[in-house]
Structures are given as C-alpha cells and as structure tokens.
Structure 1
Amino acid sequence: MKTATTDLADCVLVLRPDDHVGVATRDLQDGTVLTGFPGGGHDDAPGAGDHDGTLVVRQSVPRGHKLALRPVAAGEQVRKYGQSIGRATTAIAVGDHVHTHNLGMDDADRAYEVGTARVTLPAPTGPERTFDGYLRADGRVGTRNYVGIVTSVNCSASTARLVADQFRGRALDAFPHVDGVVALTHDTGCGLVPTSEGAQITLRTLRGYADHPNIAALLVLGLGCEMLPAQSLLDGLDLPADKPVRTLVIQDNGGIRATVRAGVAAIEEMLPAVDALRRTPQPVSELVLGLNCGGSDGYSGITANPALGHASDLLVARGGTSILAETPEVFGAEHLLLRRAVSPDVGQKLLDRIDWWKQYTAAGGGTLDNNPSPGNKAGGLTTILEKSLGAVAKGGTAELTAVYEYAEPVRTRGFTFMDTPGYDPVSVTGIVAGGATVVVFTTGRGSVLGCKPTPSIKVSTNTATYLRMREDMDLNAGRIVDGTATVASVGEELFDLVVEVASGRQTVSEELDLGADEFVPWQLGAVT
C-alpha cells in the first residue's frame, strides 16, 4: 500500500517555534509522511538529529488533536502556546499522538507577576462607532426590550410560565417594539439560610436580572412563605424611573388561577409603555460584552477564542466593557491574567477566587484538573492547563481592570473577570446578572445555548461543526484554520456582528426562542 505524503504546513499548525506539539488540521493516519519538517537550533528542536526533512506519523492523530514535533522524556513538561500543558507520563517520540494516554497534569507552581504585561490598546481610528440601543433613565443602555417575570422561589415557577405563555405566538403582534415576555424560573429560593453564601448568590442573581437594562418592565412573582420573599428582590434596588414594576404573591392573591389572571392583567397594562420605547444611536462604550465558551475543542484556543479576544480589545479600546468568566477554566493560565492586572488588589482578588475553588473542589473529593469534559477530550483537549490557555484567549490583550464575584454588578469599564463555574448555563447566567447586554459564545463541539434577555452570538471554532450545525451558528471562525481568514479579520467581523446584534439583529438562538430555560443561577451551600 502506498504511503501517504503531504506537507507538514498543510495539515499541522505549529503555534510557537519552541512548542513540543502541533495541532492536526485534518485526520492523520499512522505512517503518513510529512515533508517540510524544519530543523532547529538545539538538540530537541523539530527535525534535530539525523533526518531528511520529513516526519513520520507514528499513531493516527484525529483532527484537532496534538502531534509530537519534539521528543519528550517521561516526566518532562510538554509545551503548547509556549506554555506547559502538562507532563509526559511516558516517553514521547516525534510523530506520536499526544493525548490522555501519554500526557498528564503539571502541578508545578507558576510564576505570579502582577501588572508586568499591561499594554495600551491602539487608539481607534475613524468615526465614533455607535449602536442603536434603548437608553434607560439611569443612563445604561439596553440591547433588547423585554418584560421580565422574575420568580423568588421555585414554587412560583409554574405560575410564571403560565403567565408568560399567554404572550406567545401572535399575542404581541400589536406591540412590535417588545421583544417578548420571559419567565425567569429556577430551582431554589426556599430551604436556604438567608444569610448563607448560597442564598446571597441566588438573591444577587435575581436582583441582577430585575435591574438588567434589557428588562424594560418587571413582574416579581412569589409564593408567600419562602426564605427569599418576593419583596427582597427589590429592597434597596435603585431601579430606573422608567421601568414599570409589579409584585404578586400567590398565597395573598388567591392561588394560581387568580395570580395568572392578575399577572396577565399587570403585563397588559405595562406593554404600551414598553412598546413606546425606541432605539436611538448610542456609543459602543455603553456595551457590556459577555465572553464564554462551551463544548471546546482543539481549535478553540486557535480560532474563535483569540478572534473573540480581538473583538473584546476593539470594544475596550472604545471605552466598552467585557467580562471573562469560568474560573475553573482559567486555572493554569491565571498567571497570564495576573500579568495584565491594573493593581495588586485586582490580582489578589483573582488568586483568592482560584484558592476558593481549590478548597471547594477538594471538599467535594475532586480537583480542578478533573476538567476537561469527555467532549473536550474527544475534540483534542487533554488537560485543564491546555483548555485554560485557550480559554483566556477570549480576553484579548487588554489590562485586567476588576475581578467580581458571581452575579455582582459590573461597574468598572474595560476588560474584567467574574468568578463563575465552568458549567455554561450557570456561567452565562452570572455574566448576564452582572449586566452583560450581549454575549458571544464560542464552541467547537456545538453548543446551542441562549440567554434571555441578552442575545447570544454563537461562534464555531471549526468549519466542520459550522456546516453540520449551520442553523445553530452565527459565525464560522474555522476559516482561520482553513486559511481563508485571519484572527484579526474574524475578530473585526465579530465586533461588527456584536454591534449589529446590539442594534436589534436577531441571533439564531433568538430565532429559535431559546434562553429562558438556560437561566440557571449557581446553587451553592446547604439546603435545609
């Protein structure tokens, strides 16, 4: 049988000259001969030793997985992105498939330096960029115009859905400037110690949605005997004067049927005022962009994530705000974020959250390197270090201006970080509660997440997933690997798409009416 021969540059991405591995851009079969294998300046460089400029693939390497370009002894670090992604558990030879069978965690301490890599982003050129948004009375700007039903407890969830269901279909045809009525239901609210960390997180999340600039009118719906009563969602909130608010308690209102009738009547009363609101040109500095990824693969840190990082930088350079999250998925790359922190206090807040997660996972009998998921591994990711190094690329290069706990209001402009789990619906719920008015969600395996009341832009990391799930994806960043686009060009395209979506263009998740069921506040702590 004839041996396949192809040029290395046509099927393997080498991200840094001193990396031990490259990433296959197509399936490589055992025995494939790769030509154009470069020499190097030291003994373990690619091509060092007695060779004829070729590399022979020693085991089949699936698309998106890693191919060894250098020999690595057992116990030594393996580098990708110019950083350690783990240690070899057995000796690795040039041409080997590098994955879970020969690569494990690297527990070595990383060098922590605060503020040593702060950069000044290039000043924007051309006219001021604007989007068409809803200017609220408190000065914030919404990208959508929803009536929200926020529930204080799971016991009022079904009632909230019954109210919202009355406004589905053609019920809002007479109100073309209302994006919908969304019931934000959840699985908790009672059985919590009100002063506990878990109760405070739940309360903070619900209040964040109640106060969200994409919620133009609000119905708060409670049962009446819960630990977090309906009124607690509003106490102390400085809601804008132009946001109509109604509160209903099922037990006080005569039960479910009576409450549904009252809830429908309350929303019908609010709809004309919401529909009367109009979009006006607003500076893009008023946008708050949520950055999230899910179903990541071996291309995430090469295509969609750095392209999103470029878009984030374009927004931050114009005075806007972006929010990176998923603390378990920056573990192993936190040293890179620390180098961009504007102060020791900001850097310490990030380290404090990492330490909290180490203790939290240990208490549950696990460790932070239990991540990646089976889907991540099937897509080519091996260790949490590799996954995190790709994940932080979503944050671009801007300096880190603030670190927030879950669902805290994000008030500092620039590139920020929020402590959230890596579980996508929970993470995005926290980001939106913090004030994100647009979310960009990158995915390699194919996530279909929506996040009402905020639009979610889905970006595929590779062309195969984009073509397979084209009706669920908004943008294909796989063109970067295909060679038809660059990180910068896709980043600029993505920034333009963010502005268009903020101005009212529907995303595919909005076309499918997704996003209510993905409201999943982080549940933490004991339930009694």
Structure 2
Amino acid sequence: MSQKILKIHPDDNVLVALTDLPAGDTVAYQDLTITLVEDVPAKHKFTQQEMLPEQEIIMYGSLVGKAVTVIPAGGRISIENVKHQASTFTGKTKTTGWRAPDVSKWANKTFQGYHRADGQVGTANYWLVIPLVFCENRNVNIIKQAFLEELGFGRQDIYKSYVQQMVELYQAGNTAAIAQLPLQNHASNGHKRIFENIDGIKFLTHEGGCGGIRQDSEALCALLAGYIHNPNVAGATVLSLGCQNAQASILEEKLRALDPNFTKPLIMLEQQQEGTEHELLAKAIKQTFLALVEADKQERQPAPLSKLVVGLECGGSDGFSGISANPAVGHASDLVVALGGKSMLSEFPELCGVEQELINRCVDEKTADRFVQLMRAYAYAAEAVGSGFDMNPSPGNIKDGLITDAIKSAGAAKKGGTSPVADVLDYGEYATKPGLTLLCTPGNDVESTTAMAGSGANIILFTTGLGTPTGNPVTPVIKVSSNTKLAQRMPDIIDIDTGPVIAGEKNIEEMGAEMLDLIIEVASGKVQPKAVQLGQDDFIPWKRGISL
C-alpha cells in the first residue's frame, strides 16, 4: 500500500491509519511531520496536533467528539480519551445544489423484471405465507415443511448429512475418524423446481400481533401490507387466529391505502372460523398451490432503470466503511436517482450529527420539518428509557475505530450520496417519490432491512467492514465489503469488494459504477447475491419500544 494515512476532509484534525502504524513511526501530511506516540491499528484515527480537554474532534468536516484528556500529537483517539459530541440542528437554513453524475452509459439500459398491475416492477417473484399473530407461526411452519422440498425450493441440509456421517462412524466404532471428517459442501435441491418463474415461497414468522400495545399491531399490519405490496411479491397467504390485535381488517385497510385498486391474489384464512387445524391447513395448502400455478405464468420483461428502488444499509461497520464502501454505495445511489429511480437511506440513530446537512438537502421546508420531527421524537424516546444515540456503536464498531456515534454516523450517511432528499418517511410508510428517501428505522441491521423491503425496496446494497450474514426474504441483498481482508476471509457472504479504494487502485466513482452494473444483473435474475444463495431470510419487525 503506497499510502499509509488519509485525511478525509480538509477541516479534519485527525488522520486515519490505512495500515498498522507502530509507535515511533513518523508520518508526513502536507507540511506536518507527526511521530506516533503509540501503536495505531489500521482503521483507527490519531491526532495531528495536541488536543486539550473539551477540544472538538473534527472528522468528515463534522463535529464527532470532544477530548476528555490531553491527547498528544500522534496519539490514537479512543473511548478512553474522547467522548461523543455531535452538532445541533435546526430547520432548513439553505438549499444545497446538486450536480447529477453522468449516466449516459446506462441511459438505454434496462433490467428484466416482473411488471405488476400497479406499475411497479419486481426484481424477483416470490409468494408469501404470513401469520398475522405469533399463534399461527406453527401452522406457517407446517405449510413450509409441506411445500419447500416437494416444489423444489428446499435446500439440501449439508449439516444434517454431516451429522449422519458422524453417527455412522460412531456406530461402526470408528470415533477417531470423526475428528478428520471434512464437511462436504454440495448443497443442491432435492427436487426439480416445479414453478420456473417463481423464485421461492417465503414464510415470515414473527413474535407480534397481540399482547403488546395496539400501535405495535398497527405497525405490524402496515409492514406486512408493504411486503405484500412490494413488487418482488406475486401474492400472499395470510393466516389469522381471529381474536388478536392485528386483525385481518387492519391489514386489508393498509393494503387499500397503498393501492385502492389492489389486485394481487390474497388468500386470507382465520383459524377460529375454519374449524380444525387439519381443515385450515388443507385449505391453505390447496389454495396456495393453485395461486402458485397462476403466479408462475408471469415472466420477466424489460423495464427501465427508473423502476429500481435501492435500499442503502450498513452493518458490522468498521473504520474503513465511511471511506470506501459507504461512499461507493452513495455514488451508486446518485446514479440510480439520476436515472429516475428511488433510493432509501434508513437507520436514524446513525444519522446523528449530520442532520443539518440532510435537512439542507431536503427539496422543501415540509420535507425538512418532517425529518426534524422524526429525529427529535426518536432521540427523546431513547433518552426517556435511559439510553441515547451515543450508545449506538457496538463493541465491534469500537474495536475497529468507530468510537463515537457521530464518527459512525458521519461515515454511514455517505451511503446516501449527494442527491437531494425527495421524501422523509416514518416506519411502515411506502416510498412513492423518485429520488432519495429518508426512512425512520432503528440502527439494528435486520430491523432496518426488514423495514426497507416493507417500504418498497426491490434491491438492497448492504455494506460491512466486519462481516454480517444478513439477507431479506423478498428483496435481494448485495453485500459490499469495506476492505479486501474481509472479502478474502468471508467470500461466502461478500458480493463486491471496495478494498481497492483503500489500496488506491480504484476510485469511488469506479466502484459505484460497478455496483450499478451488478444491481442490473441481480435485478434481471442473472446473478444471485450470496445472501440469496445462503437463504438468509432475516425478518424482524420493529416494536416502537426503543431499539437502537
């Protein structure tokens, strides 16, 4: 690596180590020569001059913390010597201009998608089986067991076969051979796919629907309606017990609000009306099979790139995420927006300290005010239960250089690129406006990706620096690594490596363009992301009790 350090923004007073730097090493930046007073691991930051207590730490050109002790020049900043501090924000103070990137390369390109009656276009074609309440989880799982293998959607359980081999060796008296037994990774479907135009049947079990506050049941119904309305979904089978808070009528109301002319096939069955469990399951399986026959008649057709709705997510972030992966995703987002598509930035606790920039990027005062209101309400709710956005960084984040929420947020916000903010949505609301949308979700990876799919994302870009095996049941998740070491260590989960940015081999624009090309291939069904291949169907609805 030719470059050992990086200054992200001209106003910064800390530098980033791009490789491990030992104590006593001398580094130069412009007219400064700095001798490191301690080891600075790659991804961590060190001061370029002495910092006194209460002196502001500036990174990405933003306030990200304050010193709590004297930090000598060349000293590593850490949770021991720096505390979280973020800039305050008000309403819209100025209008930020935007120079859209050149998208002539993609102007005439299309993807092969599933056209829905409401004008949306799916990048996949799934059938959903959903319980309205946790009481129906068992019945949903019985339907899952009945369908998946027989319809060719099942996956060979290589670990079950592994245990069977161990049992055979044990029964043969050859226990010693077990220690040397390799795992044979020959995953394949046991049966041929019956429905070639259906990408799978997804079973979304959850722990909600009753027993909590009514607002949680309302939010759950809104989320499930968003999943059914998502263009990647052909139709759904919904199981209701009958007496729960999350009533079928609420789900139907949420669906009509999304599309008054809703025409997707929807099978709604209530156990307390159907009689025996046997009768309920027999009817559900039969009606679902016949609906699958019809859904299989849909075929991929060319669609303009303006029909892309790209969710922007990060999880297991490291000190390189805000330098390589997130800005590259941000450029891909700008390309999608410039082509007339939609992108969606979520995780509000990870926008702490960059609010004013996003407010000024809002297209009008009304949009800006909505963002201010949602951010403040979320922050107040967190503080009311003895928490706060400053507690967001995980132990893994901190270990790899993200020591305050403001540092993490300044890098995380880079996923949103530079385009104007066209809309701001609360959890459970659906994206309808072209351009960048801010969606209120927790910073929890799965709660956030779950929400973005429920708000209409038909592709998700997910950056990670530490390695996060997260996917989504209905929306393909493309995993982006911030560094090459991760991509080499966990190749089974990483789809694209932005480590070449850190190495100085590629720039942000080149990586963003590669991402858009991959998005088109995935959206057309030509490439399956690793999360889809591994069957990572993570689904966690957010209960509005605070989750950070």
Q: Does 1:510 align with 2:507?
A: no
State the partner residue of 1:209: 227
C-alpha displacement of 1:492: 0.4
CA distance in 1, matches of 2:104, 2:478: 25
Change (3 A) 1:33 1:236: closer
State the partner residue of 1:38: 30
Paired amino acid for 2:19: R
CA distance in 2, matches of 1:105, 1:334: 16
Q: Deviations over 1:281-336 (max 9, x none)?
A: 00010111101111111111100100000000000001000010011110111111
Q: Does 1:21 align with 2:14?
A: yes
C-alpha displacement of 1:242: 5.3
Paired amino acid for 2:68: T
Q: Does 1:121 align with 2:100?
A: yes
Q: Does 1:338 align with 2:359?
A: yes
State the partner residue of 1:105: 84
Change (3 A) 1:370 1:241: closer
1:138 paired residue among 103, 118, 139: 118
State the partner residue of 1:161: 141
Q: Does 1:87 align with 2:66?
A: yes
C-alpha displacement of 1:525: 5.0
State the partner residue of 1:257: 278
State the partner residue of 1:522: 542
Change (3 A) 1:119 1:511: same
CA distance in 2, matches of 1:85, 1:304: 20
Contact 2:86 2:352 in 1 (8 A): no
CA distance in 2, matches of 1:114, 1:414: 21
State the partner residue of 1:315: 336
Contact 1:404 1:410 in 2 (8 A): yes
CA distance in 1, matches of 2:134, 2:421: 37
Change (3 A) 1:60 1:356: same
CA distance in 1, matches of 2:91, 2:275: 59
CA distance in 2, matches of 1:322, 1:81: 23
CA distance in 1, matches of 2:545, 2:89: 31
As a proportion of its length, which structure holds more helix?
2
Contact 1:221 1:248 in 2 (8 A): yes
CA distance in 2, matches of 1:521, 1:159: 20
**Any gaps of 5 or more consecutive residues in structure 2?**
153-192
CA distance in 1, matches of 2:195, 2:545: 42
4+ runs deviating over 6 angstroms: none
Change (3 A) 1:19 1:235: closer
Task: Map residues 6-405 of structure 1 onto 2, 5 A cutoff.
Answer: 10-34=3-27, 36-39=28-31, 47=32, 54-106=33-85, 109-110=88-89, 113-122=92-101, 124-126=103-105, 127-169=107-149, 171-172=151-152, 173-194=193-214, 196=215, 198-235=216-253, 237-238=255-256, 243-405=264-426
Contact 2:476 2:532 in 1 (8 A): yes
Superposition TM-score, scaled by structure 1 size: 0.91
CA distance in 1, matches of 2:394, 2:509: 29
Paired amino acid for 2:78: H
Paired amino acid for 1:182: K
What root-mean-square deviation, in Å, do the aligned CA atoms of Structure 1 and Structure 2 show? 1.8
Q: Deviations over 1:38-65 (max 9, x none)?
A: 31xxxxxxx2xxxxxx422111111111
Paired amino acid for 2:234: A
Change (3 A) 1:37 1:511: same
CA distance in 1, matches of 2:231, 2:132: 20
CA distance in 2, matches of 1:410, 1:350: 15
CA distance in 1, matches of 2:91, 2:81: 28
State the partner residue of 1:3: none
State the partner residue of 1:44: none
**Any gaps of 5 or more consecutive residues in structure 1?**
1-6, 40-46, 48-53
CA distance in 1, matches of 2:249, 2:320: 47
Contact 1:151 1:230 in 2 (8 A): no
Q: Secondary structure at the match of 1:175?
A: coil
C-alpha displacement of 1:115: 4.3
Paired amino acid for 1:509: A
